[in-house]
Structure 1
Amino acid sequence: MDNLDWNQLKAFLETAETGSLSAAARKLGLTQPTLSRQVAAIEQHMGVTLFERVGKAMALTPTGLDLLEHARAMGAAAEALGLAATGRSEAVGGVVSVSASDAVAAYLLPPIVQRLRAQEPGIAVEVISSNALSDLLRREADIAIRHVKPEQPDLIARLVREATAYFYASEGWVKTYGHPRTAQDAIQVPFVGSDRAGRYLEYLRQYGLHLSEDNFSCYSDHTVAHWALVCQGMGIGAMMDNIARHTPGVVRVLEDLPPVRFPIWLVSHRELRTSRRIRVVFEALAEGLSNGESQDER
């Protein structure tokens, strides 16, 4: 391994990571023949076969797999050395876009973004408030916070935690209508609806609340607006517990019903492995969302 050419090592690493000569060449800004020559050169230099062709893909041989982690360590060390030489070993900057539902974007992300900004002032976070599933593969966002696991194989997903939601009403609403604790208590009281097509009503019925359209005093499928109507005293609504407990003037009701449980997934594309700023934001979000506590509680 004496006098190993760093360009050849990069050619090996990128081809191993992408599984394709053409993709690795694009990433390194080389022509495919040039990259192919570098891969062949490192194989000749080491006296081993690192790849074998499988159709159009480049598959690592057992020897290639054995050497890959060592090559990654060498690559990381070389990168760190280069950054340290220019005084930028800890510097990271740029814009990272994060897509989340309107409630998560409005209530959970701001303290996390504030803490991240204090730690990494070179990073600017663009918060995209959307209830749609952003297409990360088309780069609508760098990172997405979702409540369903993505099925696309080119995405990296981490289950952060299982969140819980309960039913709440305003203090003024409770003074007017009393404090319902059971599903039976809720039959004659107003709720804030989510849609007029009956989907939310059907969900509530499946949850054990035998309601009708007459129970809905108003509607909004926008979670922040829905919660504002609940806080205004228009009716009962559901909200994540770690958001509700920081909202003054609301009371948990229907305590006899079990919590609504749903997962929180943190999702990114595979650039997470190579883009340090995306990786930094991804880990900050994972930490901030993992236990459902706001940063000011820590």
Structure 2
Amino acid sequence: MTFDWNRARAFLVTAEEGSLSAASRALGMTQPTLGRQVAALEEELGVVLFERAGRGLTLTPSGLDLVDHVRGMGEAATRFSLAASGQSQSLEGSVCISASEVDATFRLPGIIARIRREEPGIEIEVVVSQEASDLRRREADIAIRSFQPTQPNLIARKIRDIPIHLYATPDYMERVGNPAPDADLTAVDFIGFDRTDMVVAALNQAGMNVTQDNFPIICKFQLLQWGLARQGLGIVIFPEDIGDGEPLVRRAFPGQEPVIIIPQWLVCHRELNTSRRVRRVFDLLAEELGKA
């Protein structure tokens, strides 16, 4: 077997860092030396692995096909080194997860309990924010997001599509006459996020004739929205897996299709995907979130 692991490692780190200059710093070698190793691997394999994109590099289709295999080699090399030195195979260290208020409150506790049970050496930090954490600046290791990232140095896995419905207490819906969604909703109160027309437009698109006058309560904090709806103060927009499991509320308009579908993505920085503890947490998150 004549395959040169040093060339493969040069390829992997360059792919993770996105440029020869960053990869050379990470590997502690000169940029020309690194460039020669990558070029030699391309010649050895007979494929082009990178193409230039401004000041950086992006993987070609052939490079994309090969990088996961090389990453597996890197992980195997790490395991080999640990075994040879007699080091423990236990996973230890901190992993930071970024999540929204709803994900952090309703979905993460059980998942974190499993992580701590199965991997007690891993410490978990949770950043709760409605804003997307910047993984490139290491504001978090893993993020649960409702949109697909566009940055080339991030790895994303789509977990599922989440149906969003309207919920209210049975008592509240009785007070407003249990109207159909396409009926006169003038007397029906909704709990909104802000004074923009985004939610109004989504409800109109779903066949409901509502205006800003239907939103007497505005709050960006979704947990307060949920609490207000459970107190019988109006209709709230909430994910199906959470709303259907709450005994104090029901779907405001039974039989109605979801008013919106929101994707759920799990996102990790490409470099961190080679970390065993981050990969373990990433995989457990994906498994548990996918069960909902």
Closer/same/farther in 2, CA of residues 36 and 228 from structure 1, 3 Å limit: same
Closer/same/farther in 2, CA of residues 248 and 88 from structure 1, 3 Å limit: farther
SS in 2 for 1:228: helix
Q: How is 1:241-260 mapped onto 2 (pairs within 5 angstroms)?
A: 241-259=240-258, 260=260
Q: 1:273 and 2:273 equivalent?
A: yes
Paired residue type of 1:123 = I
Q: Give the Cα–Cα distance (whole angstroms) in 1 for the partners of residues 204 and 57 of structure 2.
A: 53
Paired residue type of 1:183 = D
After superposition, what is the alpha-carbon deviation per residue over 1:118-160, rounded to whole angstroms, capped at 9, x for unaligned? 1111112222111112222222221111111111112111111
Closer/same/farther in 2, CA of residues 197 and 17 from structure 1, 3 Å limit: closer
Give the conservation status (yes or no) of the 8 Å contact 2:16–2:270. Answer: no
Q: 1:98 and 2:97 equivalent?
A: yes
Closer/same/farther in 2, CA of residues 230 and 88 from structure 1, 3 Å limit: farther
Paired residue type of 1:155 = L
Give the conservation status (yes or no) of the 8 Å contact 1:92–1:276. Answer: yes
- 1:224 Cα deviation after fit: 1.4
Partner residue, 1:29 = 28
Partner residue, 1:286 = 286
Give the conservation status (yes or no) of the 8 Å contact 1:51–1:59. Answer: no
Closer/same/farther in 2, CA of residues 28 and 199 from structure 1, 3 Å limit: same
Paired residue type of 2:225 = H
Q: Which runs of 5+ in 1 are unaligned?
A: 293-298
TM-score by length of 1: 0.79
Q: Which has the larger radius of gyration?
A: 1
SS in 2 for 1:105: helix
- 1:161 Cα deviation after fit: 0.6
Two-structure CA RMSD over aligned residues (Å): 3.7
SS in 1 for 2:124: strand
Closer/same/farther in 2, CA of residues 269 and 6 from structure 1, 3 Å limit: closer
- 1:291 Cα deviation after fit: 3.0
SS in 2 for 1:98: strand
Q: 1:127 and 2:134 equivalent?
A: no
Q: Give the Cα–Cα distance (whole angstroms) in 1 for the partners of residues 160 and 272 of structure 2.
A: 20
Closer/same/farther in 2, CA of residues 203 and 68 from structure 1, 3 Å limit: closer
After superposition, what is the alpha-carbon deviation per residue over 1:14-34, rounded to whole angstroms, capped at 9, x for unaligned? 356657543333222344466
Aligned residues: 286
SS in 1 for 2:216: strand
Partner residue, 1:108 = 107
- 1:214 Cα deviation after fit: 3.0
Closer/same/farther in 2, CA of residues 10 and 206 from structure 1, 3 Å limit: closer
Q: Give the Cα–Cα distance (whole angstroms) in 2 for the partners of residues 202 and 59 of structure 1.
A: 39
After superposition, what is the alpha-carbon deviation per residue over 1:152-188, rounded to whole angstroms, capped at 9, x for unaligned? 1121111111111211102332343343343316442
TM-score by length of 2: 0.80
Paired residue type of 1:201 = V
Q: Give the Cα–Cα distance (whole angstroms) in 1 for the partners of residues 51 and 242 of structure 2.
A: 51
SS in 2 for 1:114: helix
Give the conservation status (yes or no) of the 8 Å contact 1:217–1:235. Answer: no
Q: Structure 1 stretch 239-248 or stretch 157-166: which is displaced more? A: 239-248
Give the conservation status (yes or no) of the 8 Å contact 1:137–1:269. Answer: yes
Q: Which runs of 5+ in 2 are unaligned?
A: none
After superposition, what is the alpha-carbon deviation per residue over 1:223-269, rounded to whole angstroms, capped at 9, x for unaligned? 11111111111101111111113323111121242112121111111
Give the conservation status (yes or no) of the 8 Å contact 1:217–1:234. Answer: no
